[in-house]
């Protein structure tokens, strides 16, 4: 009995199925598994070295949170690179293996395929941040404990307050990593090989990161209500914007409350991330719509 | 109102900058037929197949599958289609079964029982839990066919399905094609440059060369059923006499492909009359075989005998 086709599934259902397919294949691809294990392996010995270093110079974080935040900044540096390389595989793994032909001869539009890659990237980002926070906070707890932040038995911040701010910072971190994901997916959509996607992606990412060398004084003034803000060209190095939420969070363990997350630094980070995210999405959408993936 | 064709292409053209890969192809395949798409390397077969499946957009023309336009109603058009396009390729780090499950899950049609069924059908049941990375090209081709068949498509599009297969494997694929046509009424479009196997399974064929459709129709029409030939095997030493007789009595110039063998156009000759004449002339007949013109002969006449990529 032949299949007549029937009513095609909605876009949401199709995207969910594509994401499931991505998860099945990526979770069984050793490169991705090694990437995530590397994040964990580097974070934990890193914490030990970090702690040993503190003891060597007689400086102590004094709080598990300060230790965890310091460690997180260092872990984000290399983990974001590993994550970027893994996200460069999202399209290229299908194209390089020729599997994209099968996907595109199923009831799947090219836009649904592209959106599914963004959804998979979001899950990869969430997993990365979860692994890093678990490692960093776990090691902070191991060395100094995690509870209410106190000074001379006076409670400065309850643990709940600290974790709420960690949650907010995580959302901003995810947004910044999302811009990286958009760049990785765009590069991936142009590439026919996995190695090519990673190399071109790293070159492009390095090129964008190099903008940080521009003096901060170079830029333009942006008026927002009554205020005028300086927008440095170096801010366009969106990879460095990743650390902005951590710098905001870094004040908390010293007892300085975060009055508002919506500071100019965060606003600028959000703008830069969104601009890059949308720009690379448009590039990828244009390519995916036109590309002959069977070649 | 008549039933829509399983697939219908009108004025289908594809240009890659200055190169005209396919030019104004019209095609109609009715439901339940096995349609062969023949052409030498570089003739435009795969480009046409890709356009039929919406993998590339035509420069001009339209494609409708069971009445749904592939460019404006893609999901409905493609839903009843199973396809194997230009060499089967899978994730090499996954097993055959896992690959099947992954792709069938995209359409929401995962089924363990169906996995077993199609793997058995293509002869991969015993190797289903091995990684595809260790598969030969022939095994990958079989897996590609399993995937194309998985959702019991109403229309099966197979681009060079026997590539990389040994003779036994090619035969099995032909058996599968016949079986799904006969048992499920599946329409099959199959491209190949292996003419003998196309002759074996196709009801209708199209011959394409240099991006143009040269001939399309039922197999007999395309081959030219009236142009049958006769192959005559004579007793040793009798072939000269047979050649002279054919020329004098019937006006036929016979070819002698090998010793004591003649090959000639049957024309209007009745084989019974010919046999009588040969016997009366004392020609010993070992065999007299009316033979249909082969698809290969027609193909070479239409496309030229050169095997060069076009």
Mapped to the 3 state alphabet, what secondary structure does chain A carry?
Answer: CCECCCCCCCHHHHHHHHHHHHHHHHHCCHHHHHHHHHHHHHHHHHHHHHHHHHHHCCCCCCCHHHHHHHHHHHHHHHHHHHHHHHHCHHHHHHHHCCCHHHHHCCCCCHHHHHHHHHHHHHHHHHHHHHHHHHHHHHHHHHHHCCCCEEECCEEEECHHHHHHHHHHHHHHHHHHHHHHHHHHHHHHHHCCCHHHHHHHHHHHHHHHHHHHHCCCCCEEEEEECCEEEEEEHHHHCHHHHCCHHHHHHCCHHHCCCCCCCCCHHHHHHHHHHHHHHHHHHHHHHHHHHHCCCCC
Same domain, B126 and B275: no
Question: What pLDDT, on the 0 to 100 scale, is given for residue A25?
Answer: 93
Lowest mean pLDDT among B41-45, B157-161, B285-289: B41-45
Please list every residue in chain A whose beta carbon sits closer than 8 Å to the beta carbon of residue B92: 97
Question: Does residue B296 belong to any structural domain of this protein?
Answer: no
Residue B51 covered by a domain: yes
User: Would you say residue B24 has pLDDT above 50?
Assistant: yes
Q: Are B201 and B158 in contact (CB under 8 A)?
A: no
Q: What is the ipTM of this complex?
A: 0.83
- Considering the domain architecture, whether residues B183 and B34 belong to the same structural domain is answered as yes
Mean model confidence pLDDT for chain B: 86
Same domain membership, residue B161 and residue B76: yes
Shared domain check, B104 and B21: yes
B248 domain residue, yes or no: yes
Q: What is the pLDDT of residues A230-263, one digit of tens each?
A: 888 888 888 888 899 999 988 888 888 888 888 8
Is B305 among the domain residues? no
**pLDDT value, residue A1:** 56
pLDDT at B305 over 60: no
Nearest residue of B to residue A116, measured between CA atoms: B106
| pLDDT, average across residues A16-40 | 93
CB contact under 8 A, A107 and B79: yes
Å between B102 CA and nearest CA of chain A: 5
Q: CATH no. for residue B143?
A: 3.40.50.300
Does B256 lie in the same domain as B159?
no
B110 touches chain A (CB under 8 A): no
Residue in A107, A116, A293 to test binding to B, most B beta-carbons within 10 Å:
A107
**Confidence band, pLDDT 50/70/90 cuts, at residue B199:** confident
Question: Does the distance separating the beta carbons of A105 and B90 come in below 8 Å?
Answer: no
Q: Is residue B44 part of a domain?
A: yes
**Minimal CA separation from A1 to chain B, in Å:** 5
Range of the domain at B233: 229-291
Q: How confident is the model at residue A220 (pLDDT cuts 50, 70, 90)?
A: confident
pLDDT given at position B253: 85
Q: How far is A154 from chain B (nearest CA, A)?
A: 56
Mean pLDDT of the A70-86 span: 92
Look at residue B310 and tell me whether its pLDDT is greater than 50: no
User: In the prediction, which pLDDT does B1 show?
Assistant: 52
Taking the Cβ of residue B288 and every Cβ of chain A, the question of whether any pair is shorter than 8 Å is answered with no
- Do B218 and B238 reside in the same domain of the chain? no
- The predicted pLDDT at position A54 comes to 79
Indicate the pLDDT class of residue B268, thresholds 50, 70 and 90.
confident
| Yes or no, beta carbons of A2 and B76 under 8 Å apart | no
- Tell me which of B141 and B294 has the higher pLDDT: B141
Number of domains, chain B: 2
Domain CATH number, residue B260: 3.30.70
Task: Report CB contact under 8 Å: B106, A103.
Answer: yes
CB contact under 8 A, A3 and B90: no
Nearest CA to CA, how far is B93 from chain A (Å)?
Answer: 7
CA dist A20 and A14 (Å) reads: 10
A76-80, B39-43, B101-105 — which is least confidently predicted? B39-43
- Shortest Cα distance from A19 to chain B (angstroms)? 9
Q: pLDDT at position B227, please?
A: 54
Residues of chain A contacting residue B185, judged by C-beta atoms under 8 Å apart: 2
Average pLDDT rounded to a whole number, residues B250-260: 85
Of B76, B78, B93, which has the smallest distance from its Cβ to A105's Cβ? Answer: B78
Is there a single domain that holds both residue B102 and residue B65? Answer: yes
Smallest Cβ–Cβ distance between B153 and the set A3, A29, A103 belongs to: A3
Structural tokens at position A148: 């209410």
Q: Which residues from A are below 8 Å from B108, CB to CB?
A: 9, 13, 17
- Hey, which residues 62-121 in chain A have their CB within 8 Å of chain B? 93, 97-99, 101-109
Averaged pLDDT, B210-223: 82
Both B83 and B205 in a single domain? Answer: yes
Q: Which of B108, B110, B144, B184 to mutate to probe the A interface, most A CBs <10 Å?
A: B108
In this model, does residue B119 exceed pLDDT 80? yes
pLDDT band at B306 (very low <50, low <70, confident <90, very high): very low
Q: Is B17 part of any domain? A: yes
Which structure tokens are listed for A5?
């086709």
> Is B74 contained in some domain?
yes
Largest pairwise CA distance in chain A: 78
- Sort out which chain A residues have CB atoms less than 8 A from B63's CB and list them: none
Residue B33 corresponds to which tokens in the numbers above? 């037929």
> Which of A15-24, A83-92, B94-103, B255-264 is the least confident region?
B255-264
Q: What is the mean pLDDT of chain A?
A: 89
So what's the pLDDT on residue A184?
A: 96
Average pLDDT over residues B151-158: 93
Q: Which of B75, B100, B182 best tests the A interface by mutation, with the highest count of A CBs <10 A?
A: B75
Domain ranges of chain A: 11-290
Picking from B222, B247, B264, the residue at the C-terminal end of a domain is: B222
Higher-pLDDT residue of A25, B200? A25
* Average pLDDT value for residue range B97-120: 91
Asked if the model's pLDDT at residue A90 lies above 80, the reply is yes
pLDDT above 50 (res A183): yes
């Amino acid at each position: 009995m032949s299949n007549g086709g029937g009513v095609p599934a909605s876009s949401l259902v199709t995207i969910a199925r594509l994401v499931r397919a991505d998860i099945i294949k990526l979770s069984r691809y050793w490169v991705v598994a090694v990437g995530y294990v590397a994040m964990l392996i580097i974070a934990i010995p890193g914490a030990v070295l970090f702690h040993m270093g503190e003891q060597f110079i007689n400086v102590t974080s004094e709080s598990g949170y300060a230790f965890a935040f310091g460690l997180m900044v260092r872990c984000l540096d290399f983990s974001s690179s590993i994550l970027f390389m893994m996200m460069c595989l999202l399209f290229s793994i299908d194209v390089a293996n020729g599997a994209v032909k099968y996907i595109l001869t199923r009831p799947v539009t090219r836009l649904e395929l592209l959106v599914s890659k963004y959804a998979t990237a979001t899950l990869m980002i969430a997993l990365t941040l979860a692994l890093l926070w678990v490692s960093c906070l776990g090691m902070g707890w191991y060395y100094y404990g995690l509870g209410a932040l106190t000074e001379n038995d006076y409670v400065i911040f309850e643990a709940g307050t600290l974790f709420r701010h960690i949650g907010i910072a995580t959302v901003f971190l995810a947004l910044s990593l999302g811009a990286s994901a958009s760049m990785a997916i765009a590069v991936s959509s142009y590439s026919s090989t996995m190695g090519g996607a990673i190399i071109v992606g790293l070159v492009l990412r390095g090129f964008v990161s190099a903008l940080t060398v521009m003096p901060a004084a170079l830029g333009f003034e942006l008026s927002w209500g009554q205020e005028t803000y300086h927008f440095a060209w170096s801010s366009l190095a969106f990879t460095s914007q990743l650390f902005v939420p951590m710098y905001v969070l870094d004040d908390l363990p010293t007892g300085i409350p975060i009055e508002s997350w919506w500071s100019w630094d965060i606003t600028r980070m959000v703008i830069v991330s969104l601009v890059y995210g949308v720009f690379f999405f448009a590039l990828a959408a244009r390519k995916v719509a036109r590309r002959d993936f069977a070649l | 109102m008549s039933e829509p064709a399983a697939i219908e292409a009108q004025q289908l053209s594809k240009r890659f900058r200055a190169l005209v890969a396919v030019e104004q192809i019209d095609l109609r395949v009715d439901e339940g037929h096995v349609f062969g798409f023949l052409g030498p390397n570089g003739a435009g077969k795969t480009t046409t197949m890709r356009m039929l499946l919406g993998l590339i957009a035509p420069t001009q023309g339209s494609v409708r599958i069971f009445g749904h336009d592939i460019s404006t109603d893609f999901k409905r058009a493609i839903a009843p289609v199973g396809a194997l396009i230009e060499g089967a390729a899978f994730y090499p780090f996954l097993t055959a079964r896992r690959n099947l499950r992954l792709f069938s899950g995209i359409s929401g049609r995962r089924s363990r029982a169906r996995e077993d069924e199609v793997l058995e059908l293509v002869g991969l049941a015993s190797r289903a839990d091995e990684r595809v990375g260790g598969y030969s090209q022939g095994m990958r081709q079989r897996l590609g066919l399993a995937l194309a068949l998985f959702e019991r498509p109403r229309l099966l599009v197979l681009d060079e399905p026997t590539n990389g297969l040994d003779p036994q494997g090619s035969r099995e694929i032909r058996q599968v094609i016949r079986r799904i046509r006969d048992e499920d009424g599946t329409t099959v479009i199959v491209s190949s440059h292996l003419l003998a196997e196309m002759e074996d399974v196709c009801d209708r064929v199209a011959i394409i060369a240099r991006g143009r459709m040269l001939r399309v129709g039922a197999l007999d029409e395309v081959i030219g059923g009236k142009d049958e030939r006769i192959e005559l095997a004579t007793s040793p030493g009798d072939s000269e006499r047979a050649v002279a007789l054919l020329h004098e009595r019937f006006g036929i110039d016979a070819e002698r492909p090998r010793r004591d063998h003649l090959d000639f156009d049957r024309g209007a000759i009745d084989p019974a009359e010919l046999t009588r004449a040969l016997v009366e002339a004392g020609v010993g007949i070992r065999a007299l075989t009316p033979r249909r013109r082969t698809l290969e002969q027609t193909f070479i006449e239409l496309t030229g005998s050169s095997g060069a990529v076009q």
